[in-house]
Structure 1
Amino acid sequence: MDYLPSLLLLLVSVQGTYSYNPIWKPLWSTAKLPVVLPQLTEDLDPPQFNAEAKLEVISPCGPECHKQAPIPSYEDLKDFLSYETLYFNGSLTETKVGIYGFHLANLAQGARGRSRAKRQIYGHDSRFSIFGKDFLLNYPFSTSVKVSTGCTGTLVAEKHVLTAAHCIHDGKSYVKGAQKMKVGFLKPRQKETADTNKTSSRQPEKMKFQWIRVKRTHVPKGWIKGNANDIGMDYDYALLELKKAHKRRYMKIGVSPSASQLPGKRIHFSGFDNDRPGNLVYRFCEVREETYDLLYQHCDAQPGASGSGVYARIWNRQHRRWERKIMGIFSGHQWVDQNGSPQEFNVAVRITPLKYAQICYWIKGNYVDCRDG
């Protein structure tokens, strides 16, 4: 019965009724956010689609390296937030953007200098495989979808899925299968037995997916241009637009608060880890370190979970209720070579104000509905 306390905690978090009621509640940002608008779109040569999908992110730049990195210029930010759009017919465009209402001083006031929490060694496997229609088809687990290139994505609108850029592009070329990419919606199928009454409710069910084709994909140039240097992982996110709308409840995106504002400093995400085929795997853990663009943590995860939407449950002051929002994208397991001593982290890309403005515009098609994060 060692699993019972953890299972009860899981059920409590799913139903959305935390046992504590703090006087101070962490809040989603309600400040007016910057605007990221397209300025010029040009056609590019069709890609070759010859890259292998990455299973992990490798960089020589760890947390301290990122904290000490120089603040990018205004022109750098416009370059990083410009993006490529891949269409289902194989055509490719590049869009340059303008940035309005953002001050570089905001970067200096971010999380670059936050102290590092004491590192903890990975313990026993703390992941939960989610079984049964009562969970799989209900929020928030129903927002997790499988990307045909081998990653996980999260429903963030009626026709949009947020995932990791490395699931689409390896930094040099688009991955095999990116042109004909599909998104799979997990549908449980009752296991066939001679006597269904004897089937244990804890026994895994066979799974199948309903697939929807992707119409177009946006990948920021910060990932493509920066993949070979220190800033690439800061932009490891992509947005997929489906050919038709789904009918499931989706999770909204939000600007990532600092880890100290998260209840218990915890983040949550669900994905299709490769070592548990056919299962949706949920986990939560404490953020151990952060920079302005990244969250470092030790959530147990395996390849296949990359691209999962990292969410938190924070108080919405305007509507006076607790609310889950996607505040980051799980990038994956990262090995960092620090002075010849390899260190490992699990890394999530934070949704900063500029990234929120960009992703929201991709979804909404206007900036008026993207001013509150």
Structure 2
Amino acid sequence: MTPRGAGSPGALAVRLAHRIEAGGPLSVADWMAACLGDREHGYYVTRDPLGAAGDFTTAPEISQTFGELLGLWCVHAWTAMGAPAPVRLVELGPGRGTLMKDALRAARGAPGFLAAASVHLVETSPVLRRRQAETLAGATTGAPTGAAPAWHGRLEDVPDGPVLVLANEFFDALPVHQLVRVPGGWAERVVALDPAGAGAPRFRFALAPAPDPLAARVPPLLRGAPAGSLFETSPACEAVAREIGRRIARNDGAALIVDYGHAPSGLGETLQAVRAHRPAPVLDAPGEADLTAHVDFQVLAEAARSAGAEAFGPGTQGDVLVRLGIRERLQALLARADARQAADLVSGVRRLIADEEMGKLFKVLALTRPGRGAPAGFAP
């Protein structure tokens, strides 16, 4: 594992300060993109952020049942598609590769699936690519092609063809713009240099002049919001959802998107920073904390529909996992677990599905080719 905070401390802050001095304040979206993806000092470029030694933990690392159920969901969707061969099995933001490893293990029992599936991982972090390669070494053994996973920087780079897409906690890390209601309409919130800072660069939020062209992205029902109201919008999220929808409509396929977020669209700030599993100030120590925002599932569904896909949900993670059989899978695992393993299994599943844990905050959206009916986990 690359040490947390690899690189020169404060180097990204200096780079961003020079950028602001030269070109003016940055949009929140540009700030997020730089903090997370700067080629030398970006958060995801310099570290493995997952686990106890990192900054956060995701569902696949909490319980093997999560990836297993998503793998079986893919098998079910593939069967409904007529079992095409080949089929692209794509994961967006694969973390350590744990979800894909569990999904492939669960899918081994489905005749023909591994033989048909080629694994494609959309990942920009060189650190995480290396970790994924380690995790998935041998995971596709048994498939006639024997093909190792292929890595891509963008979904657009994945070859065309029937597709199954998994995206767990991917969209929350895509950049968002923030708009604030002011007397003249809506103004974009930006990141500026703090003139009160001494020594190392410090940053503050400010407002760009209103009206702002991005104001057209505020839903009509929200445009008359009280002064001071804040609305977040993510063209980046919409672009990826449209690309998924386009591929499904053109080549056939299905997608399952899991993330924390809301539907319908609403007001309020959700941008947050997390470091060492604790909240951190968003503008402090750029490149040293994870930055995320809640996902607007209404917008994702509309973007995918506009490209020709059909959308189901979002349902809550707890409800969808229960419908997919997580309790039955837990009982099967408990039957051959020792006391310590059993406690971990029960605790992990509870964390995934309990309302007060991840079960209600996290949502699940399914995308399919129109006319196929509700996929597994979404039937009325």
TM tier, smaller: under 0.3
The structure showing larger relative contact order (alpha-carbon pairs under 8 Å, at least 6 residues apart) is: 1
Q: Going by fraction, where is strand more abundant, 1 or 2?
A: 1
**TM-score if structure 1 supplies the norm length?**
0.23
State which structure, 1 or 2, has the greater radius of gyration over its C-alpha atoms: 2
Q: Going by fraction, where is helix more abundant, 1 or 2?
A: 2
